Structure 1
Amino acid sequence: MATFSSPPLVFTVTRRKPVLVAPAKPTPYEWKELSDIDDQEALRFQFSAIQFYRRYESSDGNPQGDPARVIREALAKALVFYYPLAGRLREGSGRKLIVECTGEGVLFIEADADVTLDQFGHALRPPYPCLEELLYDVPGSSEILHCPLILIQVTHLKCGGFIFALRVNHTMCDGAGLVQFMNAVAEIARGAQLLSLPPVWQRDLLKARVPPRITCTHIEYDEVTDTKDTIITQEDMAHRSFFFGPSEVNAMRRLVSQHLQAHCTTIELLTACLWRCRTIALQLDPEEDVRMVCIVNARSKFNPPLPAGYYGNAFALPMVVSKAGTICEKHFAYTVELVKKVKASVTEEYMKSVADLMVIKGRPHVTVVRTFIVSVLTRLGFQDVDFGWGKPKYCGPAKGGVDVLPGVVSFYTPFKNSSGDDGIVVPICLPVVAMERFVEELEGFLKFANNCPEVVGPSKVNAKSSCIIKSSA
């Protein structure tokens, strides 16, 4: 496992004036309702992604051209197909979100930075130095209603490479939908006239039924009072990212039975490990409930599956609850089983029930009290977005957590380390003291796992030493 934090890299960014990029051709003026999955309270924020690209020259040795100009022109053409993204959100009765397709456009910034890609070194993963300069928050642009739905900044680097950073209103699309849109821009930037995957709106597929009826259990939307002030705030926060390659994952597998090894995924092992180490690091009351949400892409859960090209939010936030002491003290396999169970709970009926709950209960927020949320981006395709300069050196979320949920959300992003190992980078955001304990616990856990004989039968964890002690059962 490698851990990273931002080095003291200082550079200057010079920005042009932000401009609105409208669709390249006239688009329909109409009003389009979002789905009842889109407009829930938990998604009413902006989320961001960032891509680092190296300089690229064509076979004749000539540069490809100005990336900012190429991307801006491709963006205008892509918005002809994705014209709702060029509109503005309004709120109707019952807090229903509707996009007014005005064709006003999205915000675009061109900038120059006096730094090379190589100078970032190990900082090509969150948290990034000077992120606020690489994705400038245009004053008045970050509201949910009546604002541009997308903000893009293309920053030229001294070496000829560039950084593509994007912020999008989450109610309009999820990670899969965002990658779909980015690929549309990239295809056009590379010369395509038509898209290989046309966008599909059809938000009615995830609207509440008439009459709405809650048919599943949704503890993720329970109202929970934070009686012990455990919600993490931005003050005194530490941001670090952690790399998990084959050796770390294989070590975790050794801590569960052969039967469970055959039925659990890398994501389930990693999530169980991080949830356990995070819970120990926060030093919560053993009797306090702790929560874990593993975001599940539900596109394939429908019969038939949602149409290819659907770019709205199509994921669930299933939650599992356990006592803090139980997570810290029980065998690692116990937590792995919890993660497996919660992921498997998402079905087509579950998604319909969530949409109905939103209408019945007024679009409540997912509870964040003592909650750890995991968003897996490894298969979405951020790493394949090619604007004509090749695939990105790094791609994925711009930071750990989101502004409205500091310290709660972690993203799993594909990454190749300096040794050439493919793995996953996970940004973690915790209070400074808790981060120190987290690193110590995680390192101890993996060190023990590497030296532990493979578990065959039932076993349990000694919380004080993180050791695995085989039970006599």
Structure 2
Amino acid sequence: MNKEGRRNSIQSVQLPKQSKNHFCRKLTMAGGGEVGFRVRRMEAEMVHGINDDNKEKNKYHYYYLSNLDQNIAVVMKTVHVYKAVEGKSTEDVCRVMKDGLAKVLEYYYPCEGTLTVSQEGKLIVRCDGRGVPFVEAVADCDLYVLGDISIPDPEKLMKLVYQLPEHLNIFEAPLVTVQVTKFKCGGYVLGMAKNHCLSDGMAVVEFLRSWAEMARGLPLSVPPVLDRSIQLPRSPPKIEFHHDEFTEVEDVSNLTDLYKGEELQHRCFTFNVDKLTTLKEMAMQDGTVESCTSFVVLTAFTWRARTKALKMGPGQKTKLLFAVDGRRKMEPPLPAGFYGNGIILACCLCDAGELLNRPLSYAVELVQNTIKNTTDGYIRSVIDYFEITRARPSLTGTLLITAWNRLGLRLSDFGWGEAAQTGPAELPQKEVAFFLPHAKELKSLVLVLGLPASCMNQFEELVEDIGQ
């Protein structure tokens, strides 16, 4: 792109400045010392798709969001760490990524818009061509200061994600923001915030891959499919299944007071091949379950261990929510490159007493049956359920697991190799736990979750007791 083209696609705007205190924090390193960590942000620029004709054509029209997009209008903030490449300067990394973003937004134009509410009372995107804020930043240290980013540490990692003023609501905030931070060692970090109603994790990976291809001067290997009409509700809508994810659970164990009264601690736990194998053996030892995947057994174990650590009473209803990819389960299947939310929040619900008094195989079987029963008919019923009720999942007594370990978030190469680490900058809600890939061990899983301080120690003991 020539200089004139870049001026047309990138517009400088004055956005609120952050205070100096926001950028400074003392980090205790493994060696015992403290390292100052400061980030200096430049003025944000608004990046637009490079095709002015396309932008004008789409300006001010409304982009449909399906019923599966409505319940997850939360902002997901991720960091992607790229190490320096010997003999290859990253001096122009911001320019390369900014130009690549302008090119890819021609295909992903809804990312430039803002949310509004349709006449039917649903979220839709107003394609007003607002653009994507792009911030260049510089850190005064090397990448090693970040350490292992498996544990979401907002005080540290949110320096690497551009933060909008807190007073902005979801209708005023941009749908995507980007920050690229260069480190003294030559490495850099991509920090991205994206409203989940635009797309799920798999679509984010496709967006990043497309952006990286554009940045390297390559054509898109998988152009996005923006049409979400395949997810339209039926006419008339028809609820054919019971949807426990929307069931209101009574807090008979005073969990609300527990969370309010104690500090929330976040920890990560690595489950290597040996520990995962042990869990599978535990699940299969009574003969109820013949086999299970690492995802299923770790999901079941985490649900039981968290329930016990929170000291839920035997009569407390406890709910497990986890994402099931519906792309291939729908009929017809969602097309390759589908940009949107193709996931369904699958649900298991039972009494805490039953969950804890029965063996691990009981929870494993619940998870397996829930996955098996997530069919095209069930997905259509979910879509129609929202059409009729406008209900949102209740989170009382709930664990919500989101698995990022198979997404391939590290694979995007903007010209300096794939990411060394990726992960969330923060956990969006206290009920959420993440499965992340291990930085070095391909078959290991990293569990990240938050619990009240008094409960975290017991959860840790339950992990340590596996196989004992």
Report if the CA contact (8 A) 1:127-1:240 is conserved: no
Q: 1:408-460: per-residue Cα shift (whole Å, max 9, x none)?
A: 1112111134xx5641112111111111111112212x141xxxxxxxxxxxx
Residue identity opposite 1:47 in structure 2: M
Q: Report how many aligned residue pairs link the two structures.
A: 430
Report if the CA contact (8 A) 1:253-1:261 is conserved: no
CA–CA distance in 2 between the matches of 1:261 and 1:157? 50
The equivalent position to 1:252 in structure 2, one of 260, 279, 286, is 279
Q: Match of 1:327?
A: 355
The offset of 1:126, in angstroms, is 2.8
Q: Match of 1:135?
A: 161
The equivalent position to 2:339 in structure 1, one of 301, 311, 314, is 311
The offset of 1:128, in angstroms, is 5.9
Q: Match of 1:34?
A: 65
Q: Match of 2:76?
A: 47
Equivalent residues in 2 for 1:173-188, closer than 5 Å: 173-188=199-214
Residue identity opposite 1:220 in structure 2: E
Report if the CA contact (8 A) 2:150-2:436 is conserved: no
CA–CA distance in 2 between the matches of 1:104 and 1:372? 36
CA–CA distance in 1 between the matches of 2:261 and 2:134? 28
Q: Match of 2:3?
A: none
User: Given the alignment of the two structures, is residue 238 of structure 1 paired with residue 265 of structure 2, yes or no?
Assistant: yes
Q: Measured at CA, do residues 125 and 53 of structure 1 come closer, stay the same or move farther in structure 2, by a change above 3 Å?
A: farther
Q: Match of 1:423?
A: 444
CA–CA distance in 1 between the matches of 2:268 and 2:153? 7
Residue identity opposite 1:145 in structure 2: F
Residue identity opposite 2:434 in structure 1: F
CA–CA distance in 1 between the matches of 2:399 and 2:232? 27
The offset of 1:94, in angstroms, is 3.0
CA–CA distance in 1 between the matches of 2:114 and 2:177? 13
Task: Give the percent of matched residue pairs that are identical in Structure 1 and Structure 2.
Answer: 33
CA–CA distance in 2 between the matches of 1:81 and 1:109? 21
Q: Which runs of 5+ in 2 are unaligned?
A: 1-26
Report if the CA contact (8 A) 1:46-1:142 is conserved: no
Q: Match of 1:337?
A: 365
CA–CA distance in 1 between the matches of 2:439 and 2:63? 41
Residue identity opposite 1:271 in structure 2: T
Report if the CA contact (8 A) 2:37-2:140 is conserved: yes
Superposed CA RMSD: 2.1
Q: Give the alignment's TM-score, normalised by structure 2.
A: 0.87
The offset of 1:393, in angstroms, is 1.0
Equivalent residues in 2 for 1:63-462, closer than 5 Å: 63-123=89-149, 125-127=151-153, 130-139=156-165, 143-192=169-218, 194-231=219-256, 232=259, 236-257=263-284, 262-362=290-390, 364-399=391-426, 401-402=427-428, 405-406=429-430, 408-417=431-440, 420=441, 422-444=443-465, 446-448=466-468
Report if the CA contact (8 A) 1:141-1:147 is conserved: no
CA–CA distance in 2 between the matches of 1:227 and 1:326? 16
The offset of 1:200, in angstroms, is 0.6
Q: Measured at CA, do residues 431 and 114 of structure 1 come closer, stay the same or move farther in structure 2, by a change above 3 Å?
A: same
Report if the CA contact (8 A) 1:10-1:130 is conserved: no
Moved over 6 A (4+): none
Residue identity opposite 2:63 in structure 1: K
**Greater alpha carbon shift after TM alignment, 367-376 vs 64-73:** 64-73
